[in-house]
Amino acid sequence: MSEQVVIRAEPSEAQARWRQYRWQLLYGQAFDPPMQMALDEVLTRRVGAGQRLPTLRFWEWTAPAVVIGRFQSLRNEVDQEVARQLGITVVRRITGGGAMLTEPGKVITYSIYAPPELVAGMSFVESYAFLDAWVIEALRSLGIDAWYQPINDITSAEGKIGGAAQARRFGAVLHHTTMAYDISPERVVQVLRIGQEKLSDKGIPSAARRVAPLRQQTNLPRETITERMIEVFSARHGLEEGRLLPEEIAEAEELVRMKFGTEEWTAILP
Amino acid sequence: MHGEYKTPGGKLVVVDFDVVDGRLRGVQVTGDFFLEPPEALERIAGALEGLAVSEVGEEQIAERIRASLGEGVEMIGFSPEAVARAVRRALP
């Protein structure tokens, strides 16, 4: 670990919450967009059923995607014709929150799968900041002036970096976050329909100005940021190398066939 | 009809419906909010189905949604009032 990493003292109660578990890291393997959705459900179920240790998974993408929230209207959020032309797959995740555009190597996405006791007694709003506190720490250690903006945004003086979403389901908590690394804001407004009402209390006239990708704020390669995040998580909470089991992958592939790869699910709210 | 309302510091809620014989039909409630359990969305939309356009104000709409929810539902970033406001905004 580099000497620059200074781990801020965390309140011991918060530290104890994280430290009551052995955390496993999944990092490196790339999947297509429907598989990413399915893996989130499978791993949440497995942690909820006690079949897998609490897990931190970094996502690698094989293809660009628009990922819409569980409660969003497909046609209200996505220009499907443009998405088709650009070769972007549209998928729906199991958590709420807003639509996002991802491209291989251009975002940093991770999921935390944890027992509900990790956030017991916290409100939803409190738990978002709690579950991403290590990320804020990692970004700051790289010189990025990042902070948490309730409910679920990671932001900075230059603009929004990313957003988180959570579901409490299958006996576990799923918390996942996507941060823009090198996403073009122009591309975002091309594919996503971002209405004026959504911007109404942010006082920002242009949708394109809402995002400040990490690459714009630091010259560091994406891997360097991810590796720092892993270092900080490991130092704060403990982290062991883990791997996806063949049966977990098989279960996810089946879920793609039955759910996440189907129009029935993606257009569940047309 | 289409109405939107963003709760300050919260999330966007969008309501789409038709008006047939003075009543709301085919109601869809969507947005970038969080809701647990997710199935509660059907109850929220169901509470608006058949609502008479002429009769109800925001408060009554919100009350009707609240009554449909029951125990253990968590709305994060929006509220029955926010949905009610989106409905009123959809109407002329």
Q: Which domain holds residue B28?
A: 2-90
What is the pLDDT confidence band of residue A190, given thresholds at 50, 70 and 90? confident
Cβ of B32 within 8 Å of Cβ of A166? The answer is no
The answer to whether B32 faces chain A, any CB pair under 8 Å, is: yes
A251 in a structural domain:
yes
- Write out chain A residues lying below 8 Å of B37, CB-based: 169
Residue-wise pLDDT for A15-34, tens only, equals: 899 999 999 999 999 999 99
| Domain-located, residue A2 | no
ipTM here = 0.96
Per-residue pLDDT tens over the stretch A203-233? 444 444 578 999 999 999 999 999 999 999 9
What CATH number does the domain containing B14 carry? 3.30.390.50
Residue A5 in any domain: the answer is no
Cβ separation of A197 and B4 shorter than 8 Å? yes
Domain count within chain B: 1
A2, pLDDT greater than 80: no
Q: Give me the pLDDT at residue A196, please.
A: 56
Q: Per-residue pLDDT averaged across B76-85, rounded?
A: 97
Task: Tell whether the model's pLDDT for residue A3 goes beyond 50.
Answer: no
Containing domain of residue A42, as a range? Answer: 13-255
Residue A235 tokens, joined: 């130092």
Q: Chain A within 8 Å of B3 (Cβ-Cβ)?
A: no
Q: Residue A198 and residue B35: Cβ atoms within 8 Å?
A: no
- Shortest Cα distance, chain A CAs vs residue B27, angstroms: 11
Record: contact A198-B6, CB cut-off 8 A? yes
Contacts of A266 in chain B (CB under 8 A): none
Is the per-residue pLDDT at A127 higher than 50?
yes
Amino acid A198: pLDDT: 61
Task: For A44-86, write each residue's pLDDT tens digit.
Answer: 999 999 999 999 999 999 999 999 999 999 999 999 999 999 9
Q: What is the pLDDT of residue A186?
A: 81
What is the domain count for chain A?
Answer: 1
Nearest to B32 among A96, A125, A167 (CB): A96
Give domain status of residue A225, yes or no: yes
Q: Does residue A7 fall inside a structural domain?
A: no
- CATH at A99: 3.30.930.10
Q: How far is B56 from chain A (nearest CA, A)?
A: 24
**Residue A170 reports pLDDT greater than 60:** yes
Split at pLDDT 50, 70, 90, the class of A96 is very high
- Does a structural domain hold residue A267? no
What confidence score (pLDDT) does residue A94 get? 98
Q: Which of B8, B16, B33 sits opposite A71 (nearest CB)?
A: B33
Report the residue of chain B nearest A74, measured CA to CA.
B30
Residue B11 confidence (pLDDT) above 50: yes
